[in-house]
Amino acid sequence: MDAAMGMAKIANGDLPDGLIDRLKAIVGAKGWVTDADALQPHVTEPRGLYVGRTPLLLKPSTTDEVSRILALCNSSRVGVVPQGGNTGLVGGGVPHADGGEIILSLARLDRIREVDPLNYTLTVEAGCILADVQAAADAAERLFPLSLGAEGSCRIGGNLSTNAGGTGVLRYGNVRELTLGLEVVLADGTVWDGLNRLRKDNTGYDLKHLFIGAEGTLGVITAAVLKLFPKPRDVATGLVAIRDLPAVIELLSRLRAASGDAVTGFEYIARIGIDFATAHVAGIVDPLAKRYAHYALVELSTPAPDGDLQNVLERLMAAAIEDGLVIDGVIAQNSAQAQALWRLREAVAESQKFEGGSIKHDVSVPVSRVADFIAAATAACTDAMAGIRPVPFGHVGDGNIHFNLSQPKDMDSDAFLAEWPRINRIVHDIVVGMGGSISAEHGIGQLKREELRRYAVPAKLDLMTRIKHALDANNIMNPGKVL
């Protein structure tokens, strides 16, 4: 990892003479940062895996300013790293350590441009914080269903650029499925106004999909038209202990069919995740009296006000207990209890850092193979290293497992993290062997670039390279990320 490079002194001699002043002039006094301390959080990846360097962070407040910045950087051949909330987990939003790139923060492009409840759309600028987008939808009696742990600080442009997933994908899809239109500034400064508010439009290539999930390598997203949905009026949430891994998937499949496809959340948690969460996160308690090996957090919801979902969930759980799929469980009786169950799920992710080094895998397999995958990867990793502690959890409703591994209790954490590539290889080989993906929701960035090169079919890499060249011939857009 690049963390070893540490924090070098910020120099600004790496950019062409006079460029910094010309860039500052575009954005005005409020729109730039050069102070090393103020830059520090913007050059550091959230887990500290990558620490980069830059002489300049720009905060444009209009699309026109973004356009002028890119035109100037393109003619000067200077790399631009777009940044939203810098919560991305693959090192995509931070510059390299050579100090030759600028950061372009979208934080000041944060206006809600239009709410259209009848069209069920919301038009927002890229710098809007996800939680603010959700709130704007809610104020219009609508739902914007993208929801993830970082929603208080990640920004919609970052969500779009990573094609973010989260906990609502099972019902509503990734952010790609939630987008109707985009406004994008291309590498040469051209503004593409693709703020389409249509549900049907077959006029040629659907260009927005090039930029969604491109991690800032093809252009800068400045605004988007997002799809809204009716607000859920009835929600039922439960935590259940499940017989074994195959039963987890069987239960999901049954609940979908028997609830009229009302399942909007289905998150797997292994016992060790509950142990970590209750040990390390204040206020988290195990809601069940006994210990079990496998759990799922289940949420049903519907816009119908009289859906009676709590009774539906209780009835379905009773039947699953009868059939031996479910062993035990609780169903929230009010929204405070439901929130406590979701906090437990979030705490599983948060608490791992208190158990020393952790090697992460954000992978997906077909939903029907999830149980096989967790069993095979657990066996292979425990064979590869005595005492290693698998902590699988996540969005099994989408086949997406965060297959994280905590270090053996008595091991040095640096020595454990040095095994990252070896353990990745073992897990990723199993994933790919099952027709899965080595990056289900976090993207490629710097962290998985070599893995993409290894596992992607050559025709895909070739097409990606040709698209990159066509849109960004001078390679100024987030160079060295993804490809």
Residues in touch with ligand FAD (CB under 6 A): 46, 81-89, 92-93, 106, 126, 148-150, 154-155, 157-159, 161-162, 164-166, 215-216, 220-221, 441-442, 445, 478, 481
- Cβ-proximal residues to 86 (8 Å cutoff; 6+ apart), any chain: 41, 42, 45, 46, 93, 94, 158
CB closer to ligand FAD, 33 vs 330: 33
Structure tokens at 339: 């929130």
The nearest distance, CB 89 to ligand FAD, in angstroms, is: 5
The nearest distance, CB 466 to ligand FAD, in angstroms, is: 20
**Residue 16 has what DSSP assignment?**
P
The nearest distance, CB 87 to ligand FAD, in angstroms, is: 3
CB closer to ligand FAD, 72 vs 321: 72
CB closer to ligand FAD, 382 vs 475: 475
Q: State how far the Cα of 432 lies from the Cα of 427, in Å rounded to an integer.
A: 9
Q: State how far the Cα of 232 lies from the Cα of 300, in Å rounded to an integer.
A: 10
DSSP states of 18-84 as a string?
THHHHHHHHH-GGGEE--HHHHHHHHB-TTSS-B---S-EE---SHHHHHHHHHHHHHHT-EEEEES
CB closer to ligand FAD, 220 vs 426: 220
CB closer to ligand FAD, 83 vs 352: 83
One-letter amino acid for residue 381 of the chain: C
One-letter amino acid for residue 59 of the chain: K
Pairing of strands 79-83, 101-105: parallel
DSSP states of 197-237 as a string?
--S---SS--THHHHTTSTTSSEEEEEEEEE-EEPPSEEEE
User: Which run of H or E residues covers position 473?
Assistant: none
CB closer to ligand FAD, 87 vs 364: 87
Residue least distant from ligand FAD (Cβ): 158
The nearest distance, CB 467 to ligand FAD, in angstroms, is: 15
Q: State how far the Cα of 130 lies from the Cα of 112, in Å rounded to an integer.
A: 12
- Cβ-proximal residues to 136 (8 Å cutoff; 6+ apart), any chain: 112, 115, 122, 124, 128, 144
Beta bridge partners of 363: 401
Contact 426, 384 (CB under 8 A): yes
Pairing of strands 362-364, 400-406: antiparallel
Structure tokens at 325: 């799929």
CB closer to ligand FAD, 103 vs 137: 103
CB closer to ligand FAD, 164 vs 242: 164
CB closer to ligand FAD, 174 vs 378: 174
CB closer to ligand FAD, 155 vs 227: 155
The nearest distance, CB 291 to ligand FAD, in angstroms, is: 26
The nearest distance, CB 331 to ligand FAD, in angstroms, is: 24
Beta bridge partners of 236: 300
The nearest distance, CB 447 to ligand FAD, in angstroms, is: 11
The nearest distance, CB 116 to ligand FAD, in angstroms, is: 22
CB closer to ligand FAD, 270 vs 447: 447
The nearest distance, CB 215 to ligand FAD, in angstroms, is: 4
The nearest distance, CB 353 to ligand FAD, in angstroms, is: 11
The nearest distance, CB 53 to ligand FAD, in angstroms, is: 16
The nearest distance, CB 86 to ligand FAD, in angstroms, is: 4
Contact 397, 261 (CB under 8 A): no
Residue 152: CB atoms within 10 Å: 11
CB closer to ligand FAD, 192 vs 384: 192
Q: 376: closest CA among 400, 403, 407, 349?
A: 403
User: What distance, in Å, lies between the first and last C-alpha atoms of the chain?
Assistant: 17
DSSP states of 273-319 as a string?
HHHHHHHHSTT---SSSS--SEEEEEEEEES-TT--HHHHHHHHHHH
